[in-house]
Amino acid sequence: MNHQLIREVLCQIGEAVCRKVHQSLREQSIEERAAVHQEGADDTIYQIDKDVEDILVPLLRAQAAALGGVVLIAEGIGEDSEEGLVLPENITAGQAAIRIIMDPIDGTRGIMYDKRSAFFLAGAAPNKGNLTCLQDIEVAVMTELPTSRSVLSDTLWAIKEQGAHRYTWHLENNTRETRSIRPSQSPTWYGGFGQIARFFPPGRDVLAAIEDEMLATLFPDAPEGKAIVFEDQYISSGGQLYEILVGHDRFVADIRESLFRKMRKAGQKTGHVCHPYDLCATLIGQEAGVIITNPAGEPLNAPLDTTSPVDWVAYANPKLRTQIEPVLQRVMAKYYLF
């Protein structure tokens, strides 16, 4: 793998997606952006998503040969093939050097209403066929897709065992400023942002109850009438990762699939969950020192696909993990989520 070239190509695509989204926010109405284009295998594809897909595939096609051939895995792209989209088109999936898993707009619902930044996410791994997984990713890029009121966009990237990096891009001046990545060094959740993700129904009452019980266990002597912790229900896995990377949040747990497994056994209707393409940039967090695991505390892993359900937990530093993880696991077990 030519890691530097992959990084450059993914950053280029991320910036092109950013420009396209910004253009859509200026030129289209909310109703146009939020129109449903199609129902994907595990998510809804809106018109703003489709507009972005139309520009990223040609950009990747132009670089595919130089990259040694690419299998692209992305929601709504190449879904008529079991292998995904193979570029250039004159090779087979087995001949491609790399697999790229991509979420062109992670956080569509926030950005299509011009409420909050979304993120372009991409990860590249050596092509191991259908056995390729998240742990195989060696290059990851995430590019902020800001609202119409901002002309600044952060790009964060990592190459395995080479650290995590960040720059801020000015969309109007086309200048780039190197910025640091510094997750919180606080040893405690108390007084900071952290949350269990519960932005979609059903099951929000259970997830809230789990979080309340965790807080009561962790901080039994917290003064009455005071805010113990703060929460931010960011409807974007990339956004949640970003908030931890830049020091805003200290902890996040997305355990929707664990809850839904229990609900399915009880014959209850379940909802939307996180998928591997939502987590394809977690290498950046790992390279920055963030601890990212599954709920059992094991290294996060999943197939490189768009449909597998994935739960994940992130701690900004090891001390936070030591404080929070045992309590999270104990309360999840009490609610039969293990």
> Token match 């066929």: residue?
129
CB 253 within 8 A of CB 198: no
Residues 6+ apart with CB under 8 A from 214: 324, 327, 328, 331
Residues 6+ apart with CB under 8 A from 112: 30, 33, 34, 46, 48
SS3 (DSSP) at 194: strand
* DSSP state for residue 244 in the 8-state scheme: H
Tokens read off for 40 = 């994907």
**Could you check whether the bond before residue 88 is cis, i.e. omega within 30 degrees of 0?**
yes
CB 40 within 8 A of CB 105: no
CB 198 within 8 A of CB 208: yes
106 in a labelled binding site: yes
Tokens read off for 137 = 């990713």
105 in a labelled binding site: yes
CB 88 within 8 A of CB 263: no
Q: State how far Cα 28 lies from the chain centre.
A: 26
Tell me the C-alpha distance between 40 and 45, whole Å: 6
> Token match 């020192």: residue?
289
State the Rg of the chain over Cα.
20
205 in a labelled binding site: no
CB 52 within 8 A of CB 28: no
111 in a labelled binding site: no
SS3 (DSSP) at 331: helix
CB count within 10 Å of CB 296 equals 12
Tell me the C-alpha distance between 64 and 71, whole Å: 9
Point out the annotated binding site. 75, 103, 105-106
Point out the annotated binding site for Mg(2+). 75, 103, 105-106
